[in-house]
Amino acid sequence: MITLTSLPLAEADQEFLDKVIAQRGGRPGALLGILGKAQDHQPRKFLPRETLEYIAAKTDTPLARIFSVVTFYALFNLEPQGKNTICICRGTACHTRGSRELLESLMFKLGFHDPDDEMADKISLNTNDGKYTIRTVACFGQCALAPVVEVNHEVYGHMNEQTLQRELEHLGRETAKK
């Protein structure tokens, strides 16, 4: 069951949302754009409960409708996202070239042990320290480079465990510096 994260809206955030809603409000399909902007604006790239409630009230959208929309589209996050996002392709090409093993070892290294998670067709997991988010996609459209892994929006083809391990160490150092 999906639960929402609570995070009170600061005044500046309210002003930001007011502006976005004033620009787009009323037009058909506006809700998606408003929610997208709200998520981009949030430093941890997610939609807290208070944000959803505020948007619902200001756009006169039923709460249930908002919840339906943010759980239908995979692009919306309801949990704070990690500082680094590692996205493993679970498409057919990448699967046959070992993406399951990559995913398993990555999840193991970052402390996720639930086999149910590995079996899920779409994964979005966040480490408790807020450093990492693991995701899966159905295909990056780069099958010739399988297995494909995206690290902080950079695409790595022909990924193997050693390279992934090196990337992880690199990210660990960079994140510690910040």
Partner 1 sequence: MRPATTNVKTLKIDGRDLSGRQEETILEVARQNGIFIPRLCEMEGLTDVGACRMCLVEIKGQNRLLPACVTAVEEGMEVTTDSERLQNYRRMILELLFTERNHVCSVCVSNGHCEMQMLAQRLGITHVHFPYRYPKEEVDASHDRFVIDHNRCILCTRCVRVCDEIEGAHTWDITGRGIDAQVITDLNEPWGSSETCTGCGKCVHVCPTGALFEKGRSVAEMLKRRQFLPYLTMMREENE
- Residues contacting residue 73 through CB under 8 Å, at least 6 positions apart: 32
C-alpha to C-alpha distance for 151 and 137, rounded to whole angstroms: 13
Residue 2 interacting entry, from ligand FES, partner 1, none, C-beta within 5 to 8 Å by type: partner 1
As a residue count, the chain comes to 178
**3-state secondary structure labels for all residues of 91-113:** CHHHHHCCHHHHHHHHHHHCCCC
Lookup result for tokens 């009170």: 8
Binding mask 75-104 for ligand FES (x = CB under 6 A): --------------x-xxxx----------
Query: Is the Cβ of residue 48 or residue 91 nearer to ligand FES in the bound state?
Result: 91
Query: Is the Cβ of residue 12 or residue 64 nearer to partner 1 in the bound state?
Result: 64
Query: Is the Cβ of residue 53 or residue 104 nearer to partner 1 in the bound state?
Result: 53
Contact flag: residue 146 with ligand FES (CB under 6 A): yes
Which parts of the chain fold into alpha helices (H)? Answer: 11-24, 30-41, 49-59, 63-72, 92-96, 99-109, 115-119, 161-177
Task: Out of 142, 160, 163, 175, name the contact with ligand FES by CB under 6 A.
Answer: 142
Q: Look at residues 100, 175, 90 and name the one whose alpha carbon lies nearest to residue 140.
A: 90
C-alpha to C-alpha distance for 137 and 93, rounded to whole angstroms: 12
Query: Is the Cβ of residue 47 or residue 146 nearer to ligand FES in the bound state?
Result: 146
Contact flag: residue 140 with ligand FES (CB under 6 A): yes
Give least dist CB 127 to ligand FES, A.
24
Choose the binding region for ligand FES from 57-65, 109-117, 119-127, 141-149 (rule: CB under 6 A). 141-149
Residue 143 interacting entry, from ligand FES, partner 1, none, C-beta within 5 to 8 Å by type: ligand FES
